Amino acid sequence: MYDFLIAPFLHYGFMQRALFGSLVLSASCAPVGVFLMLRRMSLTGDAMSHAILPGAALGFLFFGLDILSMTIGGLAVGLLVALGSGAVSRFTVQKEDASMAAFYLISLAVGVLLVSWRGSSVDLMHVLFGSVLALNDEALALIAGIAVITFLALGIFRRALVAECLDPLFLRSVSRIGAPVHFLFLTLVVLNLVGGFQALGTLLSVGLMMLPAAASRFWSNRVGTLCLIAIVIAAVSCVGGLLLSYHASMPSGPAIILTAGIAYALSALAGRRGMLSSLLVFRRHKTA
């Protein structure tokens, strides 16, 4: 048991950095995913994860695999896509989901073309799927900084975020902070996707944000509890995924997201509000 669960993290520095980075990402991304889920914007997170690709690709074109330049590029383009899709949905007849889909598809195509233009298939795979086992000190510092910003923002604006999740129209009618809070929240989403991009790539970074959040919904309906459960599920998924990657020689990012997917399936089946519980309640009512 020691050799299987503990030894890989004690004997190898790259496993220690991967564990630290993924656990910090879990604590930062999972609560943001909960608010995305409560806002019924889960697919928006997926779209935004694709939208940061052109910015990261531009940073790669000019500076190579430099963390700071790719991060700044991804953040800038991600915010631009969020604002652009919001403007289209606000000032035209098109709904936000359609405009977001259009923007992220264009962004994804442009990003893949940019990376392919100057890079190799290895570079493209690194940008799309990341490499949590290759996290260096710069990447860890960036992830930790994003986590600190996220904790501060969620702590200060928690009530406003919850109010906007429950009734955004009411919040905007009684207060002027509705629109700024919405923009702040989109900024947090983009920031955490950029942080997740360092470890999981642009295609999988949203997985650590949404799968634990969706799984937590089967266990509670209180926002604070949902966030804590989502963090625990994300952390366990990261540890399990890294161990699976190490022992089975699998890619680390997909292994983490696959483990989170298994946690989601188990929660949907056996959670306090899952399918088995619903079936038991249905049978009780039927026999009563």
* Maximum average pLDDT range among 34-38, 148-152, 158-162, 173-177: 148-152
Chain center to CA of 13: 25
CB 74 within 8 A of CB 194: yes
> Is 239 a residue whose pLDDT tops 90?
yes
Region 131-137: mean pLDDT is 79
pLDDT higher than 60, residue 219: yes
Q: Is the pLDDT of residue 121 over 80?
A: no
Q: How many CB atoms lie within 10 A of CB 287?
A: 6
Cβ contacts of 269 within 8 Å, gap of 6 or more: 275, 276
Q: Which domains does the chain have, with CATH numbers?
A: 2-205 (1.10.3470.10)
Which of 14-18, 100-104, 230-234 reaches the highest mean pLDDT?
230-234
Q: Residue 251: CB partners within 8 Å, gap ≥ 6?
A: 129, 245
Global pTM value: 0.86
| Residue 178 clears pLDDT 90, i.e. is over it | no
Rounded CA-CA distance 24/44 in Å is 23
Residue 122 has pLDDT above 60, yes or no: no
d(CA 232, CA 92): 41
The half-sphere exposure of 234 on its side-chain side, counting CA atoms within 13 A, is 33
Sign of CA dihedral 102, 105, 109, 115: positive
